[in-house]
Structure 1
């Protein structure tokens, strides 16, 4: 194996390729299909979520972007299956930290995660142009290219490894490429605590001329992860 191949393999090993279903997205972001029908939408970062696949089949205009998309679809699909199985094993030890209303049990959760992965992988093969590789905090899109931007389980979630400066730069970039609004879910880190710099970031957004709201949504799986940040760009 060459050094480049080895580095690529190691990079892929660091990526967790797990995704949520289309229905989860609607609930996480408190949205309806009708609200999104006439919008140009960006899912960032999208991972193995099926939102782009299912959304476009329903006549929506959705683009997905993620650092994972630098890798081949076959490798990502294999990685996704491994990651789901690993996550389900880990879930047995932390089951008490989750709310089991949306999913009946771990097996039901596994089915949802595998369903999202399969839909995503199939759609990547059919519509590869919809899946754009990116490396945050920069995005290869034009100013205000998308009406709505959705961002799930990335910012705030990984507060232990993404510092405040990264959050700030990424938010500036999300605002730049969005025309109307950005919705970010959830507002807690992996321990279930509210992101400690959230108020500071909200002030940053207000200074940029945005309106910012913390809104409760009809979705909670990780305990305390039941709110999103809605950022509206004032025209």
Structure 2
């Protein structure tokens, strides 16, 4: 399967593990601005209302997801962080529609790689992705202070600023580009800014292969004073992408 054919299951954004943090490294054409809906987040992360409402939550990387918009409207305190937010909202909206159109063409060609019990058809999937993008962009215009431009593995937040951090379709999806050192550095930073709990989904790469150094990473996390558990979730669109890693501070 080509890189283009993997567009739907890719991260909301494609971050490169580079030494330089200069903004001029960041080019819009290298970003995949596709997002999931609030309802998908609820299922991907096994969340309930009490896990979200009234809580300070970081979504990183958040991309074009609508979780921040919907959760905040319901009484949560969510901040979205992503490399994409270095760009203007109009640029991102246009890029998002192009990415969705591109992704749908390739998902249609490789339909066997997905569980279609999640969506009735490619058309339904397209509508869901457009809804996420629409909700996200609308909220970005109304509440720009909620959308913070970052370049992992560095975050501009205070220690333990968030009660919970959610991280979807990034860390292990790009195992061929983001090495073990990057995973450790990113988890260090997520643990620094998080008080209680981190949830990461999924645990496979773009081909559906589970991250092969997960046990090693969990050992590292344990040494930092965090417990970890792998949990099945009630969501599987990409085949084999049906588990999350939950980290809880001891």
1:228 maps to what in 2? 244
Provide the secondary structure at the position in 2 that maps to 1:132. strand
Partner of residue 78 from structure 1, selected from 71, 94, 97: 94
Q: Distance in 2 between matches of 1:199 and 1:66?
A: 27
Q: Distance in 1 between matches of 2:26 and 2:218?
A: 35
Partner of residue 30 from structure 1, selected from 38, 46, 71: 46
2:6 maps to what in 1? none
Provide the secondary structure at the position in 2 that maps to 1:42. strand
Q: Does 1:117 align with 2:124?
A: no
Q: Does 1:51 align with 2:75?
A: no
1:5-16 → structure 2 map (5 Å cutoff): 11-16=27-32
Q: Distance in 2 between matches of 1:176 and 1:9?
A: 25
Normalized against structure 1, the TM-score is what? 0.95
Partner of residue 163 from structure 1, selected from 152, 158, 179: 179
Q: Distance in 2 between matches of 1:211 and 1:10?
A: 34
CA distances 1:135-169 after superposition (whole Å, capped 9, x unpaired)? 00010001100000000000001111111111110
Q: CA deviation at 1:196?
A: 1.1
1:211 maps to what in 2? 227
1:3 maps to what in 2? none
Aligned residues: 228
Q: CA deviation at 1:34?
A: 2.5
CA distances 1:33-52 after superposition (whole Å, capped 9, x unpaired)? 22211310000000000000
CA distances 1:160-219 after superposition (whole Å, capped 9, x unpaired)? 111111111000100110000000000000010100111111111011111000000000
Where structure 1 has 5 or more consecutive residues not aligned to the other structure, the ranges are 1-6
Partner of residue 197 from structure 1, selected from 200, 213, 229: 213
RMSD: 1.2
1:181 maps to what in 2? 197
Q: Greater helix share, 1 or 2? A: 1
Q: Distance in 1 between matches of 2:144 and 2:180?
A: 33
Q: Distance in 2 between matches of 1:10 and 1:45?
A: 15
Q: Distance in 1 between matches of 2:139 and 2:183?
A: 30
Decide whether aligned partners of structure 1 residues 185 and 10 sit closer, same or farther in structure 2, where only a CA change above 3 A counts.
closer
Once structures 1 and 2 are overlaid, which stretch shifts more, 156-165 or 72-81?
156-165
Normalized against structure 2, the TM-score is what? 0.89
1:113-152 → structure 2 map (5 Å cutoff): 113-152=129-168
Where structure 2 has 5 or more consecutive residues not aligned to the other structure, the ranges are 1-22
CA distances 1:61-91 after superposition (whole Å, capped 9, x unpaired)? 1100000000000000000000000000111
Provide the secondary structure at the position in 1 that maps to 2:160. coil
Segments ≥4 residues shifted beyond 3 Å:
7-10
